[in-house]
Amino acid sequence: MTNKHRLLPGWFWLLVGGVLLWPGALRAANARETQAMEDQALKAAQALFDDQQYAQAESRLAAFLSTYTNSPHRPYARLYEARARFGQSNYDGAIQLLTNFIPQAGLLAGEYAFWIARARLEKGDYAQAGEGFASYLKTYPNDPRQLEAAYRQAEAYSHMESWTLVAQLLQKPDGDFVRLSATDPKNSFVARGQLLLADALLALGKNAEGEKVVAGVDPSGLEPEWQWRRQYVLCRLELAGGRVDAAWQNSSNLLDSTAGERHLAAGRFLRGEILEALGRPQEALRSYTNNLAAGLPAEYPRQALLKIVSLTLAQNQINDAVQLLEGYVAQRTNGAALDFARLSLGELYLKLYYNPPAPDKSSDVVTTTTNYLQEALTNFDQVIQDFPGSPFVAKAYLDRGWCFWAQTNMSGARTNFEQAVELLHVSPEQAVARFKLADTEFYQHDYDPALTNYNLLLHDYANDETVTNELFDQALYQIVQVCLARNDPAGAESAVRKILDWYPNSLFGDRGQLLIGESRKYDYAMARQEFMELLKRSPQTPLLAEVQYAIARTYEQEGNWRQALHEYDRWLERHATNAPALRPQVEYARALVYGKAGMETNALALFTNFVARYPSNNLAPWAQNWVGDYYFNQGEFQLAEQSYELLYQTFPNAGDLAWEARLMAGRSALEGQRAAEAAQHFADLVAFTNAPEDLRRQGLFALGDALMQQFRDNPTNMTFLDQALAAFSKVTNGALTNVLAVQAIGKLGDSYKYWADVQWNLKHDPQIYTNAINMYQAIVSFPPEDLSVATYSQAEVALGLIAEREGHIDEALDHYCNVLYGMDSDHFDPYWVEQAGNPAARIYAQRQQWEKAIKVYQRVLKAVPSLRRPLEKAIIEAQTAADKARN
């Protein structure tokens, strides 16, 4: 690390010391012993940070801050404590530290603001990162990181694929990036920004303009990595701009053997795309095939296989595509992408089963003789049996479930959909698996579990717009059928009301809309055809407004936002005055589509006007809730808090939504660093005995968080700690009976530990950790099947840290190893594997048990591939030490 990144740059001593510390002055100074100790403590932490020993640096800096409470070095120590967390990918921790202490940062406030935005960028909170860099640029114009911030701001929006904004930020004549680049044209971030601008122009289809930008980047001044990237984006621009010959000629430089395997693989893939454009498909296939070589990370052969299959299918050579995959799995029994090849082959056969080619138009052996379904099953079976640790096993279970469904083997389908539900992460695919699991149970007349799974889908995916749009109305319709089969007409009527209330656009409603009877999927084009036939038969129907509204909704349901908006606009032109009862639903739906289409500013204005115009409509509280959610997601937490307050104050009879608004008002205040206001919101919610019990428990839990934050801000006020402990204790009701209760036990442990950590610095009394240990022990003693991996792992790591602090090193190792080795290899939390691995490896290294340290580093690397660079460095260092010890 260069000197300019050291913890205490030379000019720092001029700034905080008040005197010029020349060597002669230092010799003459009568420094007190405590000052010398302070300086030594900070230098030791600095050395650890410079050597990228971030965990140890963080620990040393935390100890420094706890010990030297009046030191003028505290803003610097706090900054680098946060940067040490950043170096460990603990971005939330870094953000929390910097945000909490920026008021005390003094002249380093700009650095704090920059690293908050930087951490958000690395964490993936791209919108907040972009806003953070913009604020930094405006607030701290004289800070030395201005140019980097201008580049990082654009980089953040590039991850969101907001290419128009990226281009504007990087090329606007009076913008920050252009202005700052002119003052330091040799800075590496100037070239990076220009290459990012070229990426944006490529995405926007401005290929010639992008080429000009790349041409302005002098490759001689670039590091090899950026020289390669310059050439890569140039070739992509030439290809996209139709200058295929130029792209072909320039792409040869991408295959320099010194570029590294990843760049070589990317270059070969691009060369394949260029060859496709040149009309040389066979050569393109060979270029892609080179990425199937052994030794490459799995992403490259998987990408190549996908392209090869697509290219082959584009030539209408289904037999070749199947045989290619069959050949791959036969020849590469240990191929990195063998699991993906098997899955792709199975899905190809499954696709052929559902969409077989016309027999009289194909001479393809595969398409005329193969039992597609059985071949699909065989391949899915082998993914599951041969690659139990593969990330594609869950998808194979889902696909195998579809195979059994096609065979009407409902027992097999049910088992596989159930496995897919268990193995898939929360995602639209998992939602489909649960939906189909419920379908199989319904088909088998097993109505109670079917009803349970449909309701679980509604509960677990209430905030996933993709799933709510695609599956919720269908699930509710299935609930209608289940309830009728169970002779529960009231339940069926309730489900119908929910369809009409929640999805006024859905074709599963019962007024003027087509229901797709027994089918579980419907064709929106067919629905529109039915509506148009109705209008053709009866052009003057009194249901004209409702039918045309339903037509608009079909476009919305299938995600055709532009056409949906067009239809809603036409509806308002025709029916705004003659269908007053329906108009609020149309305006609400229109506002929703603007939001779904990414035009959230328009949606915000429309929903705000909706609430003002239709305050008594049952959709008004939902419109107000959308406004609150918008501000919350934008990070404008004070406006979000005000919006949620307006909801529950104006619409107190809006059912659970009003109670949820109280909870969200508190969360907004807490996110906005207004812990006292947040605590009041949560306390008010808890005080309402008629509020839903689940929401009251969530309010108690959040109240504990808010009070704990107040205690952290005021660590001498034990009242806050006592009240936080009381809130968390109420959530548990004295027992671990639900997920939230288990989490509350963990929060109790964290609270006791935080207090104990502070007390430990005053007196090393092991008894102060007793309560924290009891809480964490309660968690690890809970049945593992009812406990999340993260919750269990966090408790074990905390117990290890406490044991270390108390000097029980072997006990600490046991706890860390419980996380590293005691978990199912397919179920672990990467963050906590890292948190357990770091101290375990450190202990082994201190004991010079190098082989054990290496094994720990390797295990962490497998769990957290993003840490490859520091972990590989640590492995090399440990191996060197081991070799030295043996010699």
Alpha carbon dihedral 462, 465, 469, 472, in 10-degree steps, equals -10
User: Does 327 score more than 70 pLDDT?
Assistant: yes
Q: Which of 481-490, 699-708, 773-782 is predicted most confidently?
A: 699-708
Specify if 82 maps to a domain.
yes
Q: Mark out the alpha helices in 336-446 (DSSP H runs).
A: 338-354, 365-369, 372-386, 393-406, 410-423, 428-443
% residues pLDDT > 90 (the chain): 38
Domain residue limits at 38: 1-123
| Over residues 672-686, mean pLDDT | 90
CA–CA–CA angle 393, 442, 475 (5° rounding): 80
Specify if 30 maps to a domain.
yes
3-state secondary structure of 501: helix
Specify if 346 maps to a domain.
no
User: Does 11 score more than 50 pLDDT?
Assistant: no
| Number of neighbouring beta carbons within 10 Å of residue 93 | 17
Specify if 81 maps to a domain.
yes
Specify if 89 maps to a domain.
yes
Q: Judge whether 725 and 691 are in contact, CB under 8 Å.
A: no
How far is 669 from 130, CA to CA, in rounded Å? Answer: 22
| Over residues 816-831, mean pLDDT | 76
**pLDDT at residue number 141:** 92
Nearest alpha-carbon partner for 719 in 731, 728, 710: 710
Q: Could you report the per-residue pLDDT of 185-205, keeping only the tens digit for each?
A: 999 999 999 999 999 999 999
Lookup result for tokens 């579980």: 520
**pLDDT at residue number 114:** 95
CATH number for position 3: 1.25.40.10
| Over residues 831-843, mean pLDDT | 87
Task: Specify burial of residue 693 (Cβ count, 10 A radius: 0-12, 13-18, 19+).
Answer: exposed
User: Following DSSP, what letter does each residue of 414-431 receive, concatenated?
Assistant: HHHHHHHHHHSPSSHHHH
Q: Is 358 left (phi over 0), alpha (psi -120 to 50) or beta?
A: beta
- Which DSSP letter does residue 548 get? H
How far is 533 from 530, CA to CA, in rounded Å? Answer: 5
User: Following DSSP, what letter does each residue of 745-802 receive, concatenated?
Assistant: HHHHHHHHHHHHHHHHTT---GGGGHHHHHHHHHHHTS-GGGS-HHHHHHHHHHHHHH
Q: Could you report the per-residue pLDDT of 413-467, keeping only the tens digit for each?
A: 999 999 999 999 888 899 999 999 999 999 999 999 999 999 999 999 988 888 8
Specify if 775 maps to a domain.
no
**pLDDT at residue number 757:** 66
Q: Comparing 771 with 545, which gets the higher pLDDT?
A: 545
Q: pLDDT band at 750, cuts 50/70/90?
A: low
Q: pLDDT band at 496, cuts 50/70/90?
A: low
User: Does 868 score more than 60 pLDDT?
Assistant: yes
| Over residues 843-863, mean pLDDT | 87
The number of domains in the chain is: 1
Specify if 760 maps to a domain.
no
% residues pLDDT > 70 (the chain): 80
Q: pLDDT band at 735, cuts 50/70/90?
A: very low
Q: Mark out the alpha helices in 184-317 (DSSP H runs).
A: 188-203, 207-215, 224-240, 244-251, 261-277, 281-289, 299-314
Angle (deg, nearest 10), helices 163-171 and 146-159: 160
Specify if 714 maps to a domain.
no
Task: Specify burial of residue 198 (Cβ count, 10 A radius: 0-12, 13-18, 19+).
Answer: buried
**pLDDT at residue number 108:** 93
Q: Could you report the per-residue pLDDT of 341-386, keeping only the tens digit for each?
A: 888 888 888 888 887 766 554 444 454 446 889 999 999 999 999 8
Element (H, E) at 305: helix 299-314
Q: Could you report the per-residue pLDDT of 245-283, keeping only the tens digit for each?
A: 888 888 887 877 566 777 887 788 888 888 888 888 778
